[in-house]
Every structure is written in C-alpha cells, then in structure tokens.
C-alpha cells in the first residue's frame, strides 16, 4: 500500500469519526422531533377528526420548531451564528421541502390509495419521515449551519438554486432596510 493511499484512508477514517458524533446528535434531536411530530399528529387527528394530511402537517410544523432549537443549540452550536437570519431562512426553506416530502407520502396514502386509518397514517408518515430526514441532514449540514460565504467566493462558486434564491431575498431585504 502506498503512502498516499494510507493517508487517504486515514483522512477518510478521521472524517467518518468526526461525522459520526454529528450523526448521533442529529439522530437524538430527530428522534425527539419524531416523538413530537407523531404525538401532535395523532392527537390532532383523534381530537379534531380533521383530514390526516392537515393533522400531519401540523405535527411536522411543531416538530420543525422543536428541532431547530436542538440543532442550533446542541448539534451545530459551534457553527457560525453571525448570520442568524440567513440560517433561519434556509432552515425554514429546507424544512419546508422536508415537510412536502414527508406529508406527500401521507397525501398519497390517503388520497391515492384510499387508506385513512391510524396505522396507514403512521406507516406513511414514517416512510416520508425517513426520506425527509436524509434530505434534511445533508441540507442542514451543507447549507444551513454554515457561515455565509463572502461575495467574491460566492461569485466564483455559485450556490445551489434554492440557497442562492434565499440569499438573494435576504440581500434584497437588507438593502431595502438601508434605503429607508
């Protein structure tokens, strides 16, 4: 084995060790969010008898709010919080996409498959939550809980479309505040 491949393997091993702690913390916060999400969703459906998708969306929104506190103040507490407005905006954008992924499965199960019982709600919600969790993990760690890149760096390495759009909105809002 060459020296270069040994260094690459060590580097990969170190990176995996570094991310394993992050994954564990993310999972703990996420499990708390799942308990809140399913608890609120099921309580809403049994207390109000509203449509399963509506109750599921309410549960997801409450869990998003609870999870933000866990991610910001525990999992990613060491990340740059200087641009908190950008962070919250991106968190809400990516959480909204996760909400659509998660509750899309509930919608599909309810309105396409015609399954409306509690078991169908929870099974479809669990499937959607799994896919949405993977999406959220990678988007939060890649874009949300990072420092805002300098303008010159941003121009050299354009951000992904959703991130770029959110950053343009924030810049426009900040510019409008200075004009007033």
Tokens of 57: 């969306």
Has residue 95 got a pLDDT over 60?
yes
Is residue 164 very low, low, confident or very high in pLDDT (cuts 50, 70, 90)? confident
Domain ranges of the chain: 18-179
Please report the pLDDT score of residue 141 as a whole number: 87
pLDDT digits (tens, 9 = 90+) for 132-146: 999 999 999 899 987
pLDDT digits (tens, 9 = 90+) for 26-43: 999 999 999 999 999 999
Secondary structure letter of residue 76 according to DSSP: T
pTM: 0.73
Q: Which of 66, 74, 96, 97 shows the shortest CA–CA distance to 145?
A: 74
Please report the pLDDT score of residue 136 as a whole number: 94
Q: How far apart are CA 161 and CA 77, in angstroms?
A: 26
Q: CA angle 62-88-56, nearest 5°? A: 20
Please report the pLDDT score of residue 60 as a whole number: 98
């Amino acid at each position: 084995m060459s020296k270069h491949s040994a260094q690459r393997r060590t580097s990969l091993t170190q990176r995996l060790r570094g991310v394993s702690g992050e994954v564990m913390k993310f999972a703990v916060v996420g499990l708390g969010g799942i308990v809140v999400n399913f608890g609120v969703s099921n309580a809403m459906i049994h207390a109000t008898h509203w449509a399963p998708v509506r109750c599921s969306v309410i549960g997801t929104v409450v869990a998003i709010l609870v999870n933000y506190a866990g991610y910001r103040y525990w999992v990613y507490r060491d990340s740059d919080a200087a641009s908190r407005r950008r962070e919250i905006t991106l968190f809400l954008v990516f959480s909204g996409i996760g909400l659509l992924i998660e509750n899309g499965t509930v919608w599909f199960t309810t309105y396409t498959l015609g399954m409306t019982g509690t078991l169908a709600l929870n099974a479809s919600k669990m499937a959607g939550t799994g896919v949405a969790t993977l999406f959220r993990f990678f988007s939060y760690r890649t874009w949300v809980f990072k420092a805002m890149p300098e303008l010159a760096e941003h121009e050299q390495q354009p951000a992904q479309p959703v991130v770029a759009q959110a950053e343009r909105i924030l810049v426009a809002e900040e510019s409008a505040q200075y004009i007033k």
